Amino acid sequence: MNQTASTQPGADVEALCSALAEEPMFHASLGSKELFHSNLIAWMVARHPTIARQVFEKWLTPADRSTDDLVRREFHQLDLVIELAGQEALVIENKTFALPDEQQLARNTRAADKLRGHPTLLLLSLVDPGWPDGSFTVEGRTWHWVSYKEFGERLAQAFSDDQDFAGQVLAHEARLVLLLSDLFQVVGVHDADEPLQLSAERQQPLVRTNIADAVGKARAHQVMQLIKERLRTENLPEPAWAHEVGFAHGEPLLAIFWQKSDDVIVGWQYQSRQWRLAMILNGEGLWGKGLHEARATYARQHDDYFDFQPMYDLLERTEDDCRPKRPRIAPDGFNRFDPGFIYRYRLVPDVTVQQFVELAMTYSHRATQWEPEHASDAGGAT
């Protein structure tokens, strides 16, 4: 059996998950994920520097200096710094299952400036970051996206079945990342008319293989990329919370917020099928534990913001369709996360990706156009 062969991208989710379940490297990697793969790449460079040159040849730039081969982990908090003799350094930010983080890349750019010469900056990830032309410029430097599929293919070419144990380990690593790439391709968002949520049938093998959370994050990221593109094309103001994509309580979390005054931030949040209209109140007398009633008073004074009728109209549903049957709502009608987050919510019925994007844009427009009646007096709500 050729251990480096990838299952074809057209294979179904069940087949891909079964192949992952049979791959020992997958189970070995579950404990530390990103760290596991970063450490393995570092080991490959140290153990097989000549072959590592073949794997990374596409991204190497000759340097007018001579150095010994060197690989460093967490150097200035950079995941990987690879220095091969006669070449500029490669800086690799590894995101196997984690999502690309542009703010982190900005910090890493400043750290990379401490290196000698002109290092090449690479984001290695399963998830497409959505950059135009696969590149992202920040702090005057450019990061280039390298897909795990391309990396796996180059790794597979370099390490074959007939090598020693070290080579076999890396052949299995190649097979693993190619399987993961195929799976993420199959279960990714492909069509605006497909359901936002994967069906229970497609979820089952993902849950059994302990990869459902990673897939959920990846799909949420893809949906947020669609929303971000609409924000740009429709020229909405820059959000205060820039396109948050997170994961909490086993569910993807998407949110966008805009600053309306020094003390008031408004926006929307989606998690666990809840569509939340929310405020973050950080003025004096509003921010902190034990101040929920003051925040609720302020929110009631601006009750027009918590209007779900546009949601009902867009999705052609009634309030009864979207109101939770057993709501976990405080007596004053607002839920909260201390120290300053207050919200109301309705349940999002089964919707397509396109419907969800339109919902997000509807409330993004409302948030940017809405102004509090007493924005300058947020801390003095009575």
Q: What is the DSSP string of 270-314?
A: EETTEEEEEEEE-STTTSSTT-HHHHHHHHHHTGGGS--HHHHHH
What does the alpha-carbon distance between residue 309 and residue 324 come to, in Å, rounded to a whole number?
A: 16
Is the same domain home to 18 and 166? yes
Q: Is residue 213 part of a domain?
A: no
Nearest residue to 189 via CA among 356, 8, 25: 356
Is residue 31 located within the same domain as residue 166? yes
Residue 230: inside a domain? no
pLDDT tens profile 253-275: 899 999 999 999 999 999 989 99
- Residue 96 DSSP one-character state: S
Residue type, 310: P
Q: Based on the fold, state whether residues 17 and 128 are members of the same structural domain.
A: yes
Tens digit of each residue's pLDDT (9 = 90 or more) over 161-181: 657 888 899 999 999 999 999
| Cis preceding linkage at 24, omega within 30 | no
Q: Which tens digits make up the pLDDT trace of 47-87? A: 999 999 999 999 999 998 767 889 999 998 899 999 999 99
Question: Is the residue at 20 inside a domain?
Answer: yes
Residue 181 and residue 45 share a domain: yes
- Residue range 183-191: mean pLDDT, rounded: 94
Q: How far apart are CA 48 and CA 255, in angstroms?
A: 44
Residue 60 is predicted with a pLDDT of 95
* Residue written as token pair 């120290």: 339
Query: Could you identify the residue written with the tokens 């020094």?
Result: 262
- Identify the domain boundary among 161, 187, 213: 187
Residues 155 and 242 in one domain: no
Q: How many Å apart are CA 84 and CA 55, to the nearest integer? A: 12
Q: Which of 146, 172, 187 is the last residue of a domain?
A: 187
Structural domain of 274: 238-380
Instruction: Evaluate whether residue 219 is within a structural domain.
Output: no
57 part of a folded domain: yes
- Which of 127, 161, 187 is where one domain is finished? 187
- 172 shares a domain with 51: yes
Encoded tokens for 191: 């069509």
Dihedrals phi, psi of 359, to nearest 5 degrees = -60, -45
One domain, residues 244 and 371: yes
Same domain, 130 and 23: yes
d(CA 168, CA 158): 11
Mean of the per-residue pLDDT values of the chain = 89
| Number of other CB atoms surrounding residue 22 within 10 Å | 10
Number of domains in the chain: 2
pLDDT in tens, 293-331: 999 999 999 999 999 999 999 999 999 999 888 766 666
What's the pLDDT score for residue 236?
Answer: 95
Confidence of residue 34 (pLDDT cuts 50, 70, 90): confident
> Token pair for residue 223?
């949906």
